[in-house]
Chains A and B, each alone.
Chain A
């Protein structure tokens, strides 16, 4: 009997220790990646990065055109994708809450949320690049928009569902049509939640590489034309990191540091907003 109890205790301790090891492994991976980025990337950080164009092989330069291109395409992607996501989320949460169509759309949206982004790139290549006959920043922005829709849709629906039903009833009792209630009562009440969704969507699409490879392609020069190929950070990092030139590799590391730092900051900001929202909700009750 004593033996058996001892064995159970040992087994318990062993498995709990293993779960601690697993957690430390996960944290170590994050730390290792961040440390690599900082140690390789900091050396390349200078004002040249933000003032000069991507250089030809073997010479020094910056990432200005790539940073500009990434900003433009991410912004356009959000401007096109998020209104669709917010409206669709509104439909699922309000108009069609329990309809069969909503169940189907919710399901398909969750599938799209985890679908490989390279497939979306191929889709936009087929319907935009092939039709236009050339690669373009617009095609890149569209593929990012398609990736932003599922993220904003999901958070909008969840956040609208969190608004206390009493507010909706009060608005309806005043004789407001549903659209009035949604625009004047529900959206303001769910505002910080919807903003969180937007931040998460920006974080998600600004690091995407695969869908840009054959939509926006890349451009070594400064270009503001939406109708032409445009440089962007992820594809420049991909191209420069795999090149044999030291200058290009250094730029790739600096670019990787910039992009990761901005994405992690966006993700943390989104979480802080969400935590504040929850605290606010908690104090109301």
Chain B
């Protein structure tokens, strides 16, 4: 009897080829999905894009009755809510990451880290009902009247915080988004800060620097690319976030200078109107909004990933 059974070896080779092909096919499917998303969105959006041309992204009008659609109000809402979210979330996330990596007693490090990660696991719709039923009334009764009263005489702020306190609107949506993206940015920043070699920090302390001076002059410059990557990752999330915003934005296709006014975002417009859209042009316009969102978030997330990768490569060297 031969030690190696040729039939057995041949069979093994066939299995090997099948298994390898299966893993390759699964890996290629990932590319296919992204390609499929781009192609199918473009095809769905084509009727609207052909009908309205470039004016689709520059017009504010959104009128299902006369079949006239423009994406300016949703684009404005998406950008402004995300900017508010980033303005609030980035400093807070920076503080959390600092606390976790530099200050926190070792015993509390894990529980607090896990708590922050759990905040990231809470589904978007939960932030939505919490925002609508708990946060919005508080803002309406206490925060917004105060803002309106005190910003009244200040030139720019007066315009931003004007009008009746609705509770819901652009500002509230930005605030809820800030809470939602906070854990993502904080977790990325924490991981990035952890990559700073202890030797560098020790050298700083050795020169007599305070803890804050070491953080600001050693840790932050060393991990700058990763910090920006984490911020962009959070921005990508904020731009595409749907359900939470849908609850608290107020759904008005209008551009208002006041942040307290109701507005709309790309994703909330799709979530609200898609199943109720009658007519091909209406549906196609909503898909065109989806295509815009896809292009915007893809660019932001891809840039974020590229930055985080650059940092990773540098750390490996």
Contacts from A to B (Cβ < 8 Å): 8-9, 11-12, 15-16, 18-23, 25-27, 29-30, 32-33, 36-37, 40, 83-88, 90-92, 94-96, 101-102, 104-105, 107-112, 114-120, 122-123, 125-127, 146, 149-150, 153, 177-180, 182-183, 203, 207-210, 213-214, 217, 234, 237-238, 241-242, 252-253, 256, 259-260, 263-264, 267-268, 271
Contact yes or no, B24 A252, CB < 8 A: no
- List the A side residues contacting B297 at CB < 8 Å: 114-116, 119
- The 8 Å CB contact of A12, one of B22, B93, B122, B210, is B210
- The 8 Å CB contact of B129, one of A9, A84, A214, A252, is A252
How distant is the Cα of A111 from the Cα of B16 in the complex, in angstroms? Answer: 31
Instruction: Name which of A26, A213, A217, A268 has the most chain B CB atoms within 10 A of its CB.
Output: A26
Contact yes or no, A179 B16, CB < 8 A: yes
Contact yes or no, B99 A95, CB < 8 A: no
Instruction: Name which of A32, A33, A119, A238 has the most chain B CB atoms within 10 A of its CB.
Output: A119
A sample of 17 inter-chain contacts (CB < 8 A) reads A23-B95, A23-B112, A25-B92, A26-B182, A26-B186, A114-B301, A115-B294, A122-B274, A123-B36, A149-B29, A217-B275, A241-B128, A241-B129, A241-B132, A259-B123, A263-B122, A267-B117
- List the B side residues contacting A256 at CB < 8 Å: 125-126, 129
How distant is the Cα of A256 from the Cα of B119 in the complex, in angstroms? Answer: 15
Q: Among residues 134 to 154 in chain B, which have CB atoms less than 8 Å away from a CB atom of chain A?
A: 134
- List the B side residues contacting A87 at CB < 8 Å: 22-23, 25-27
- List the A side residues contacting B121 at CB < 8 Å: 203, 263-264, 267
Smallest CB gap from B34: residue in A:
A108
How distant is the Cα of A217 from the Cα of B182 in the complex, in angstroms? Answer: 30
A273 to chain B, nearest CB (A): 13
> Does B247 belong to the interface (CB within 8 Å)?
yes
Smallest CB gap from A122: residue in B:
B290
How distant is the Cα of A36 from the Cα of B23 in the complex, in angstroms? Answer: 45
0 or 1 for each of B107-121: is its CB under 8 Å from A? (1 = yes) = 000001011111101
Q: Among residues 47 to 106 in chain B, which have CB atoms less than 8 Å away from a CB atom of chain A?
A: 91-96, 98-100, 103-104
> Does B195 belong to the interface (CB within 8 Å)?
no
> Does B228 belong to the interface (CB within 8 Å)?
no
Q: Which of B156-164, B197-205, B234-242, B254-262 contacts A (4 or more CB under 8 A)?
A: B234-242
Contact yes or no, B103 A122, CB < 8 A: no
Q: A20-B95, A116-B241 are in contact. List 16 more A-B contacts (CB 8 A).
A: A87-B27, A90-B23, A91-B26, A111-B34, A115-B294, A118-B240, A118-B293, A119-B41, A122-B274, A123-B37, A127-B36, A179-B19, A214-B274, A237-B125, A260-B122, A260-B123
Contact yes or no, A30 B119, CB < 8 A: yes
Q: Quick one: given A12-B211, A29-B119, A111-B302, are A23 and B96 in contact (CB under 8 Å)?
A: yes
Task: Give the top 7 A-B pairs by smallest Cβ distance, nearest first.
Answer: A116-B240, A22-B95, A207-B123, A87-B26, A179-B19, A91-B23, A12-B210
Contact yes or no, B122 A33, CB < 8 A: yes
Contact yes or no, A29 B240, CB < 8 A: no
Contacts from B to A (Cβ < 8 Å): 12-13, 15-16, 19-20, 22-31, 33-34, 36-37, 40-41, 43-44, 91-96, 98-100, 103-104, 112, 114-119, 121-130, 132-134, 179, 182-183, 186, 210-213, 215, 233, 236-237, 239-243, 246-247, 267, 270-271, 274-275, 287, 290, 293-294, 297-298, 301-302, 304-305, 309
- List the A side residues contacting B294 at CB < 8 Å: 115-116, 119
How distant is the Cα of A234 from the Cα of B119 in the complex, in angstroms? Answer: 18
Contact yes or no, A8 B210, CB < 8 A: yes
- List the B side residues contacting A11 at CB < 8 Å: 210, 212
Q: Quick one: given A26-B182, A26-B183, A149-B33, are A88 and B123 in contact (CB under 8 Å)?
A: no
How distant is the Cα of A48 from the Cα of B130 in the complex, in angstroms? Answer: 24
Contact yes or no, B210 A122, CB < 8 A: no
Contact yes or no, A210 B271, CB < 8 A: yes
Instruction: Name which of B19, B93, B186 has the most chain A CB atoms within 10 A of its CB.
Output: B19
- List the A side residues contacting B241 at CB < 8 Å: 116
B102 to chain A, nearest CB (A): 8
- List the A side residues contacting B26 at CB < 8 Å: 83-88, 90-91
A109 to chain B, nearest CB (A): 5
Contact yes or no, B134 A36, CB < 8 A: yes
- List the B side residues contacting A26 at CB < 8 Å: 92, 96, 115-116, 119, 182-183, 186
